[in-house]
Structure 1
């Protein structure tokens, strides 16, 4: 199996040839597997795609809250974000986010941090929906891909503006 080239501007996903659904993900300098559970025909060797999407929401939320609390000098010692994904009866996806804020925060600080969570960049992306452009590429030419143009840190910083 030829390993795909790492690209700092894109996430690259390639089938491993092991199992029915197992893929290798190259993202942000890290490499990991994604898969489906055994009951769905996979090997359960990594998170499934919805787990990855929920992880993006949870990670962005925790990072955005950390950035905001640090800028304000607030005593947030740790954030834990638990994200649950379900599908509603009308076919819409629902992400339920439970946020635990640790530290000697007062009620106003906790309220404000929950408001900031609503502004994290991934939350906004999921709320608005996205345009997806698909093109066929000949390996290993990734030149046809779109560049995001938006740095995640810049988007988090914008979300933290008062």
Structure 2
């Protein structure tokens, strides 16, 4: 991929255009990297999941992990959990809808299956999506353009002064 390890911020997900294709981006998260993109029929290269696929993946991953954790804590015989997530929105102004199909494999009884399905509805990403979230966006300076420490930076300082209202 395109970034050096020192660019990785362990507390953030960083997404940067790759310069390949119209929409392809590189996602850096927790020491891993992958591509996201739009399908070819929408002008992308189809080289990775689109942003809504990533959101659905977050919901599916969190649901699966939460169900696994609960089953382990209870000592229940869950051999595998699979979550299939579908996303739809009736119109640009409509409310998004996520539908989950939870498959629980293993010799679980009906009560255990019902409880694990209930726990699926309590996963943190489910709760975040259900409650909504506050969004904060700020404009940051490109990393290569900060004024150097200890003097210098005159041209950048002059440009900033020229742009003041």
TM-score w.r.t. structure 1 length?
0.83
Alignment correspondent of 1:3: 3
Structure 1 segment 82-93 matched on structure 2, within 5 A:
82-88=84-90, 91-93=94-96
Aligned residues: 141
Deviation at 1:29, TM superposition (A): 1.2
Alignment correspondent of 1:154: none
Alignment correspondent of 2:118: 115
1:115 aligns to what SS in structure 2? helix
* C-alpha distance in 1 between matches for 2:87 and 2:124: 18
Alignment correspondent of 2:80: 78
Query: Do the aligned residues in 1 keep the contact of 2:2 with 2:18 (CA within 8 Å)?
Result: no
Deviation at 1:88, TM superposition (A): 2.7
Deviation at 1:140, TM superposition (A): 2.8
* C-alpha distance in 2 between matches for 1:69 and 1:133: 36
Deviation at 1:72, TM superposition (A): 0.2
1:124 aligns to what SS in structure 2? helix
> 1:75 and 1:53, CA in 2 relative to 1: closer, same or farther beyond 3 A?
same
1:135 aligns to what SS in structure 2? coil
Alignment correspondent of 1:33: 35
1:76 aligns to what SS in structure 2? coil
* C-alpha distance in 1 between matches for 2:130 and 2:90: 15
Moved over 4 A (4+): none
Give 5+ residue unaligned stretches, structure 1: 142-162
* C-alpha distance in 2 between matches for 1:83 and 1:120: 14
Alignment correspondent of 1:45: 47
1:76-125 CA-partner distances (Å, limit 9, x unpaired): 00000000011135611111100000000000000000000000000000
Alignment correspondent of 2:109: 106
Deviation at 1:139, TM superposition (A): 2.6
**What is the aligned-residue RMSD (CA, Å)?**
1.6
Alignment correspondent of 1:156: none
